[in-house]
């Protein structure tokens, strides 16, 4: 028996050190991805120049001071870099939101896009762009409206799914789809009525998802928001784990999750609002990334949250790079690209029986 | 630890499920709760472990009204093994049992070596040490219930509530689970379907019928032909075996 205990302890230590190792590797991978991603783009800029600009701006090295202005500086520092940072933030946010929403609805098929929260955010933003609703809220009012839209839809979807008995995955996804359709229809309606070409192009960019509007002003708001929310969720790993066991079991384990659920929904709406504000609608990231991490490292949120956050950022940085270089002289909306990868994964998860669609084997 | 309920009442709409139920379990007593389907056993236990809040009456843990305790405090005094435990997600056995430590944890506190030691000990008590790294959802029903019992043990509570934990289990695993519980040094309140099993393990039995206590006492005193006829509407014969234990034969 003692041997057993020793070996158990060993596997524990092994698991923990493996987790730390992977965490460090992913963090390193993220830094490398950022550094690599800024070298891709339409403008032909040599590696040396790119990194000279980085050396000048990030490390404040005197040696590169000649790169502190000019077109090379502008392309690298004012266009590419904030864009990569934004991709990082959005990828992290969407993955973490996916994890949290999956815990809230106790089903691995949840995702901000599938539950209609992204559409809600998009509708809020459409209101702001096309009709100027909420402009009194200041410079980032489009983002705030996106958050408001996201929050209203997440509570609405939860409420609809809970009508007439407990929510199950089927009801949630139907409710999400329905609310999402309503929001899209409303957005289209507003675009149709207002008929302003510039604004229409802007809204189009949003519904397809793109990071091309990135600038430092936006990145400076969104990255901290996503980072803070992610850290908060990481500290909540115990409650998130309990959430998967259900309300009754969590009460017997000393936690009433009712309040947590509301707070988590609000926080994840903040993230989705920020992500949609930054990049429009990008689906399935929150579905695919947590799923991959779960296969490799299990369901414990202590590991799931940070690993998903890192992998999600790396994934979206490279998806954005791909969307920039796949088509010659044009940019493919990243939302389309990600959906092309994500939607089949969703179908696969839906079909795979072991995932207990709607309560499953019980 | 003593646990008692006083005059618990609960209604859904117009249907009165519990009509003033009072029971009590003394320190380290194994108390059984029997009664036909729909008599309110589970509802009563759910009131006791706080998943339902009764419309009237109160539950006391060592004299302290349950409502005056936080959920964390009550989870440090009373652990629950219930019937349904299916998860959509894959937790390892160790992770499931480790969650039993959460009532002892403050918001940001990490799991430490002591928690892991308690988990190993709990797994060993239920004979599941070898399964610690297995996926919970790949286990059989009996194994899963033993893991859930281990989780309850990891809570280190002086009281254990069993809400028909042996449903769906075959006789081997029913006996196995209850034998493990019987070796623990805790107060136990258990809803049990099988009268013979109740007779085997309980120090005292309460009979619940349509939301009311219809009788209570030692198994030999409660499980009589008349009582079984009245409550379950079946004929039976009561036999004492050579060790003086009660057995019920249904006719």
Q: What is the CA radius of gyration of chain B?
A: 19
> How far A107 CA sits from the closest chain B CA (Å)?
6
Residue ranges of domains in chain A, CATH in brackets: 86-361 (1.10.3470.10)
Q: Is the pLDDT at B84 greater than 80, yes or no?
A: no
Nearest Cα residue to A216 out of A228, A224, A206, A208:
A224
Which residues from chain A sit within 8 angstroms of residue B165, using beta carbons? none
Q: How far is Cα B196 from Cα B174, in angstroms, rounded to an integer?
A: 12
Phi and psi (nearest 5°) for B92?
Answer: -80, 160
Nearest Cα residue to B78 out of B159, B152, B150, B165:
B159
Contacts of B41 (CB under 8 A, 6+ apart): B33, B34, B35, B164, B191, B208
The partner residue sitting opposite B92, judged by closest CB among A235, A247, A298, is A298
Which residues from chain B sit within 8 angstroms of residue A107, using beta carbons? 88
CA torsion angle A50 A56 A62 A65 (round to 10): 70
H or E stretch covering B213: strand B212-217
Which residues from chain A sit within 8 angstroms of residue B116, using beta carbons? 9, 12
- B30 forms beta bridges with B188
Which residues from chain B sit within 8 angstroms of residue A294, using beta carbons? 89-90
Label residue B241 by pLDDT band (50, 70, 90): confident
Contacts of B173 (CB under 8 A, 6+ apart): B141, B142, B145, B166
Lookup: tokens for A191? 């675009």
Q: What is the CA radius of gyration of chain A?
A: 21
Position A356 scores a pLDDT of 41
Phi and psi (nearest 5°) for B15?
Answer: -80, 120
Nearest Cα residue to B62 out of B141, B3, B15, B142:
B3
H or E stretch covering B34: strand B30-34
Interface check for A165 against chain B (CB to CB < 8 A): the answer is: no
CA distances, B71 to each of A149, A264, B158, B205 (Å): 34, 20, 16, 28
Residues B230 and B214 sit within 8 Å (Cβ to Cβ): yes
Buried b (16+ CB within 10 A) or exposed e, B34-63: bbeeebbbbbbbbbbbbbbebeebebebee
- A137 forms beta bridges with none
Interface test with A, best of B89, B116, B118, B120 (most A CBs within 10 A): B89
CB pairs under 8 A between A and B: 100
In DSSP notation, A203-239 reads HHHHHH---TT--HHHHHHHHHHHHHHHHHHHHTHHH
Residues A87 and A275 sit within 8 Å (Cβ to Cβ): no
Q: Please state the rounded mean pLDDT for residues A313-332.
A: 89
**C-beta atoms of B50 and A251 within 8 A:** yes
Strand locations in chain A (E): none
The partner residue sitting opposite B108, judged by closest CB among A235, A248, A256, is A235
Position A143 scores a pLDDT of 84
The partner residue sitting opposite A252, judged by closest CB among B75, B88, B129, is B75
Nearest Cα residue to A67 out of A45, A85, A42, A82:
A45
Report which DSSP code applies to A140. Answer: T
Position A165 scores a pLDDT of 67
The tens digit of pLDDT for each residue in B142-152 reads: 899 999 999 99
**C-beta atoms of B85 and A254 within 8 A:** no
In DSSP notation, B168-193 reads T--HHHHHHHHHHHHHS-SEEEEE-S
**C-beta atoms of A299 and B91 within 8 A:** yes
Label residue A289 by pLDDT band (50, 70, 90): very high
Label residue A360 by pLDDT band (50, 70, 90): very low
pTM value is: 0.86
Contacts of B181 (CB under 8 A, 6+ apart): B30, B149, B160, B162, B188, B190, B201
The partner residue sitting opposite B90, judged by closest CB among A8, A252, A299, is A299
Q: Is the pLDDT at A294 greater than 90, yes or no?
A: no
Residues A316 and A94 sit within 8 Å (Cβ to Cβ): yes
The partner residue sitting opposite B75, judged by closest CB among A169, A253, A359, is A253
CB atoms within 10 A of CB A17: 10
Label residue A1 by pLDDT band (50, 70, 90): very low
Position A171 scores a pLDDT of 81
Which residues from chain A sit within 8 angstroms of residue B49, using beta carbons? 251-252
**C-beta atoms of B87 and A361 within 8 A:** no
**C-beta atoms of A4 and B130 within 8 A:** yes
Q: Please state the rounded mean pLDDT for residues A225-236.
A: 95
**C-beta atoms of A253 and B108 within 8 A:** no
Q: How far is Cα A104 from Cα A111, in angstroms, rounded to an integer?
A: 11
The tens digit of pLDDT for each residue in A10-23 reads: 566 666 788 899 99
- What is the residue-averaged pLDDT of chain B? 90
Label residue A218 by pLDDT band (50, 70, 90): confident
Position B170 scores a pLDDT of 85
Lookup: tokens for A102? 């999956």
Which residues from chain B sit within 8 angstroms of residue A254, using beta carbons? 70-76, 102-103
Which residues from chain B sit within 8 angstroms of residue A169, using beta carbons? 88
**C-beta atoms of A249 and B100 within 8 A:** no
> How far A129 CA sits from the closest chain B CA (Å)?
40
């Amino acid at each position: 028996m003692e041997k057993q205990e020793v070996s158990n302890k060993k596997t524990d230590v092994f698991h923990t050190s493996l987790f730390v190792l992977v965490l460090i590797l992913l963090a390193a991978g993220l830094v490398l991805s950022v550094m690599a991603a800024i070298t891709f783009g339409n403008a032909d800029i040599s590696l040396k120049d790119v990194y000279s600009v980085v050396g000048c701006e990030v490390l404040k090295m005197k040696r590169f001071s000649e790169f502190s202005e000019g077109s090379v500086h502008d392309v690298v520092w004012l266009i590419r870099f904030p864009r990569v940072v934004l991709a990082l933030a959005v990828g992290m946010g969407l993955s973490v939101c996916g994890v949290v929403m999956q815990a809230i609805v106790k089903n691995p098929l949840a995702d901000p896009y599938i539950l209609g929260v992204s559409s809600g955010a998009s509708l809020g933003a459409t209101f702001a762009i096309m009709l100027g609703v909420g402009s009194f809220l200041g410079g980032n009012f489009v983002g705030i409206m996106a958050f408001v839209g996201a929050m209203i839809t997440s509570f609405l979807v939860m409420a609809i799914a809970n009508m007439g008995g407990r929510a199950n995955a089927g009801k949630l996804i139907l409710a999400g789809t329905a609310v999402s359709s309503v929001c899209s229809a409303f957005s289209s309606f507003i675009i149709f009525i207002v008929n302003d070409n510039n604004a229409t192009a802007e809204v189009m960019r949003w519904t397809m998802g793109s990071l091309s509007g990135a600038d430092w002003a936006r990145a400076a708001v969104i990255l901290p928001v996503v980072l803070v929310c992610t850290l908060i969720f990481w500290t909540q790993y115990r409650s998130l784990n309990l959430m998967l066991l259900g309300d009754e079991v969590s009460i017997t384990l000393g936690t009433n999750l009712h309040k947590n659920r509301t707070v988590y929904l609000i926080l994840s709406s903040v993230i989705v609002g920020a992500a949609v504000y930054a990049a429009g609608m990008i689906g399935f990231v929150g579905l695919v990334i947590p799923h991959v991490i779960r296969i490799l490292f299990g369901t414990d949120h202590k590991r799931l949250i940070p690993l998903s956050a890192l992998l999600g950022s790396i994934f979206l940085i490279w998806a954005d790079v791909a969307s920039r270089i796949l088509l010659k002289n044009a940019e493919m909306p990243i939302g389309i690209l990600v959906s092309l990868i994500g939607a089949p994964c969703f179908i696969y998860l839906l079909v795979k029986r072991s995932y207990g669609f709607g309560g499953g084997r019980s | 630890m003593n646990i008692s309920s006083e005059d618990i009442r609960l209604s859904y709409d117009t249907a009165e499920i519990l009509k003033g139920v009072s029971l009590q379990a003394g320190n380290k007593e194994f108390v059984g709760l029997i009664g036909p389907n729909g008599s309110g056993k589970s509802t009563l236990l759910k009131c006791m472990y706080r998943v339902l809040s009764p419309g009237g009456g109160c539950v006391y843990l060592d004299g302290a009204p349950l409502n005056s305790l936080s959920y964390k405090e009550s989870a440090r005094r009373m652990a629950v093994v219930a019937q349904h435990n299916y998860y959509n997600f894959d937790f390892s056995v160790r992770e499931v049992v480790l969650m039993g430590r959460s009532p002892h944890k403050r918001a940001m506190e990490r799991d430490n070596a002591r928690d892991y030691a308690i988990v190993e000990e709990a797994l060993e008590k239920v004979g599941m040490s070898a399964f610690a790294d297995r996926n919970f959802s790949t286990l059989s029903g009996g194994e899963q219930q033993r893991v859930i019992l281990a989780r309850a043990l990891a809570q280190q509570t002086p009281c254990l509530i069993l809400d028909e934990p042996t449903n769906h289990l075959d006789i081997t695993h029913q006996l196995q689970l209850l034998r493990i519980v019987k070796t623990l040094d805790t107060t136990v309140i258990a809803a049990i379907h099988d009268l013979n099993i109740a007779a085997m393990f309980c120090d005292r039995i309460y009979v619940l019928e349509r939301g009311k206590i219809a009788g209570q006492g030692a198994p030999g005193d409660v499980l009589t032909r008349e009582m079984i006829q009245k409550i379950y509407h079946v004929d039976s014969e009561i036999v004492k075996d050579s060790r003086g234990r009660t057995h019920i034969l249904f006719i």
